[in-house]
A and B are shown apart, each in its own frame.
Chain A
Amino acid sequence: MTLAELSRGDRAQIIAIDSQKNSVQRLMVMGLVEGIEIEFLGRSLGGDPIELLIHGSALSLRQTDARHFTVTIADKKDGS
């Protein structure tokens, strides 16, 4: 599953990144690298972009970029 498919409150770990795209590299520089745990904070109006929490900082990105990050869910938290 990818970052784009998470739902609000989920915690997930990034396990693989398709890093060819420039914007993906930009996100990697901002801390989205393999092994990192993130929290999915939510979606904007209309479902896109999405907002993540990495080590205390909130970051927003579009779904098209989020699809390049493969994750596994560490802690599923429905609804809330």
Chain B
Amino acid sequence: MAEPAISSVPLENLTISQGMSIALVGNPNAGKSTIFNRLTGLRQKTANYPGVTVEKKVGKLNLSGSLYDLIDLPGIYSLSPQSADESIAVDVLLGRVKGTPQPDLIIAVIDATRLYQGLYLLQQLVELGRPIVIALTMTDDAIIKNISINTRQLQDKFQGVPVCELVATTGKGMRSLDTVIRNTIGKNYPQKNSYWKELRNASNEIQQKIGESSLKLVDIERAIINADPVAIESIQNVLGSETNSELLRYRTELCGSEPPIAVEARVRYSWIKEALPILESKAKAPIRWATKITNWINRPLTATVLFFGLMAIIFQAVFAWATPLMDFIDNTTVGLGTWVQDVIPPGIISSFIADGVIAGVGSVVIFLPQILILFLFIIVLEDTGYLARTAFLMDRAMRATGLSGQSVIPLISGFACAVPGIMATRVIPDRRDRIATILAAPFMTCSARLPVYALLIAAFIPNINVGFANLQGLVLFGLYMLGIIGGIGTALLLKRSALRGPNPTFILALPEFHIPSFRTVLLKLLDRARIFLRRAGTVIFTVAILVWALAYFPRSTNIETERVEAQAQASTVLTGSILETELNTIDNEAAAAQLAQSYLGRMGNWIEPVFTPLGWDWRISAAVIAAFPAREVVVAVLGTIYAVGAEADETSLVERLRSATWPDGRTVFTLPTVLGLLVFFAWCLQCAATLAVIKRETNTWRWPVFAWSYMTAIGYIGALLIYQIGSV
């Protein structure tokens, strides 16, 4: 897919450099994405690796006219895979991932302030025997911390691999990285020695036995210590049934009864322990402000106050900043729609453009302000290091729900919108925890539920005080609690059934407080917006068009003729503003009649028996059906159905709802019906965007289908219980 280029050289004028690709590999928070953003700019995109939900970030790198593919691999600590991220990184580096070529050059990103951990991965990367360069990041931080790194010794210890010192946030050293990349890529590359000699000896012996060099030493090594199935299969092709016993013999010889990964850690870190004093010298540094901040944040009282304070600010921002923008988008869509209906003669085309296309695009774009503001906060929190800190602080409290501290931010985001919340679950390493969080997030009372709550509460809950509290406020608070209970209950239930497994652990590197780079935050934000528009936007738009079609077709010519006649008649007797009002009323009544006999209206009638036990008539049923793609739509649909117009002010709709009756004269909206309807909206998953995002994040339709059925079912049961008990 073509990506916008920001470089001065147009993309088509570049020589595609034999389709060579470069991979960025490094520990989490080592500064990989900053280098990636520096190298690619806007020429990047995010996708998923096939079959897994590990994010695949790719971009184009232009080095003096040669174009390379740059892959940003997930942050990892080791090539002995223990997680999906690590497996993918290894598979990409070994050229085993479909659609991702084996990298022709590895850029090993090493944090100069955390050399100890970085050297572990670096050993394994060098042993791969592929062209590699070392990008030493955070060198400015290292200077402040009085850490000085002997790059010559580093190059020496790693068998001549070139080292580039970078300050990625300012771009210092990027030029020399460019040069080093150009000098290394595509060149002949000698096999390097291993840092685990005993293992290399074993793999050499096996390679001699196999008698061919098609199988690389690293593959054999992975077969011995990681029981890697792909490598084992290739050995089996030659050694046959002997393979497993041979491999086991070597594994026992190397590791005894200890797990191979533990043995590997001991061997590699004992080398690092010896090398480290030569590679770096640390002088006593004055205590940095970052450390002071971190210490201060860690105190129980400040931690708690800060956490709740920050959440309050975020919510304030989401509502204070997003609401005007959303109102603006809403007004623009309505304005555009009205304009289209004025310009194009009434009929199918005008309705399709105004109520279908424009309203459909509007329903996608309306999400953007909230999503972007929320993501801005999440990204800044992540880049400052506070996100990890929050997870650390909240872990104990979250354990009661069966989740870990890493689910806190996704769930809290759900109170504004489930979409960014679900997209933020990527930080959760445990797959089961992640899915449980994804399924709990849509229960949180999102902003789209508020218009529905506001309408029904204002109309039917008396505005009186109960003790100190206002009853309307109490009901709203109860609905928020209902969401939390639903979400946590779901997580607990899932963790005890479908997602049962060993207790998740919580192992997390806690980065020091760090001022995020504007550029990185902006690029990440753009990336999120793009993912949302591409994945969720298409689904929301399609569904919006579908609902428009259901509500528009079939058209009754009788109603239309009657409308025209009634308006003509009104024009002969009435004038001025009275005529205006009368014409409007006739329009609204015709629209209501059209909707009643449309497919949507018929569906409402057809499905009414299903909802009768909940106390809903066909009108509520039709409005609820129309609200499945996006719950906030229900207000507009109720407006149309009750013939006050989709854009009616709330008071006239409230009047109509209060006076609505069944054919036999009973009131439709009794207190049990309303409370049931509120519970239904609290629990039901009426949001196509959420479903689309769940599909993207779980990589299967199974979970969105489950979430939808499950939430609809408990919403229905909740409403049923309340109506039936309340009506006794």
Contacts and interface: CB of A to CB of B under 8 A. Distances in A.
Interface string B517-536: 00000000000000000000
A47 B399 CA distance: 13
A76 B503 CA distance: 32
Contact of B510 (A48, A59, A64): A59
A70 interface: no
Contact of A60 (B114, B117, B397, B506): B506
Interface in B105-121: 113-117, 120
Contact of B396 (A23, A48, A58): A48
A25 B294 CA distance: 27
Interface string A26-46: 111111011110000110111
Residue from B269, B294, B405 with most neighbouring chain A CB atoms (10 Å): B269
Given A51-B510, A65-B507, A19 B258 contact: yes
Contact of B269 (A24, A33, A58): A33
B508 interface: yes
Given A19-B262, A44-B395, A45-B393, A27 B507 contact: yes
Nearest to B299: A42
A48 to B, nearest CB: 5
A3 to B, nearest CB: 13
Contact of B262 (A28, A35, A49, A55): A28
Contacts of B448: none
Nearest to A42: B298
A59 B396 CA distance: 16
B304 to A, nearest CB: 7
Interface in A13-27: 17, 19-20, 22-27
B77 A61 contact: no
A49 B266 CA distance: 24
Contacts of A44: 392-393, 395-396, 405
Contacts of B145: 56
A36 B269 contact: yes
A73 interface: no
Contacts of A62: 395, 505-507
B275 to A, nearest CB: 12
Contacts, number: 118
B82 interface: yes
Residue from B145, B282, B395 with most neighbouring chain A CB atoms (10 Å): B395
A41 to B, nearest CB: 7
Interface in B48-69: none
Interface string B384-416: 000000001111110000000100000000000
State which size class the interface on B falls in. 35 or more
Contacts of B392: 44, 49, 51, 60
B396 A45 contact: yes
Contacts of B114: 55-57
B269 A47 contact: no
A31 B120 contact: yes
Interface residues of A, number: 37
Contacts of B510: 51, 58-60
Contacts of A17: 262
Nearest to A22: B82
A23 to B, nearest CB: 4
B117 A28 contact: no
B396 A31 contact: no
Given A28-B262, A58-B512, A47 B78 contact: no
A49 B399 CA distance: 11
Contacts of A60: 392, 506-510
A30 B282 CA distance: 20
Contacts of B210: none
A49 B276 CA distance: 29
A6 to B, nearest CB: 16
Interface in B258-306: 258-259, 261-262, 264-266, 269-270, 273, 276, 282, 294, 298, 300, 303-304
B538 interface: no
B116 A28 contact: no
B100 interface: no
A19 B259 contact: yes
A58 B507 contact: no
A17 B264 CA distance: 14
B509 A57 contact: yes
B605 interface: no
A24 to B, nearest CB: 8
A19 B263 CA distance: 9
A16 B457 CA distance: 62
Contact of B116 (A20, A22, A31, A46): A31
A30 B395 contact: no
A57 B145 CA distance: 12
Residue from B262, B264, B265 with most neighbouring chain A CB atoms (10 Å): B265
Contacts of A27: 507
Contacts of B396: 44-49
Given A51-B392, A57-B114, A29 B77 contact: yes
B80 interface: yes
Nearest to A48: B396
Contacts of B304: 45
A57 B27 CA distance: 12
B77 A35 contact: no
A35 B265 contact: no
A33 B505 contact: no
Contacts of B78: 29
A25 B509 contact: no
Contacts of A56: 113-114, 116, 145, 147, 282
Nearest to A29: B78
B259 A25 contact: yes
A55 B116 contact: yes
Contacts of B393: 44-45
A31 B506 contact: no
A24 B266 CA distance: 13
B313 to A, nearest CB: 20
A45 B262 contact: no
Given A26-B82, A55-B116, A65-B507, A31 B269 contact: yes
B505 A64 contact: yes
B116 to A, nearest CB: 4
B562 to A, nearest CB: 68
A56 to B, nearest CB: 6
Nearest to B262: A19
A47 B395 CA distance: 10
A25 B298 contact: no
Contacts of B294: 58
B395 A65 contact: no
A55 B142 CA distance: 13
Given A34-B266, A44-B393, 14 more contacts: A19-B262, A26-B82, A26-B505, A28-B262, A29-B78, A29-B80, A33-B265, A49-B396, A49-B405, A51-B510, A55-B115, A56-B116, A56-B147, A60-B392
What 6 A-B pairs come out closest when comparing CB atoms?
A46-B396, A55-B116, A19-B262, A28-B265, A23-B505, A58-B510
8 contacts: A19-B258, A26-B505, A44-B395, A44-B396, A45-B397, A57-B114, A64-B503, A64-B505
Interface of B: 77-78, 80, 82, 113-117, 120, 145, 147, 258-259, 261-262, 264-266, 269-270, 273, 276, 282, 294, 298, 300, 303-304, 392-397, 405, 503, 505-512
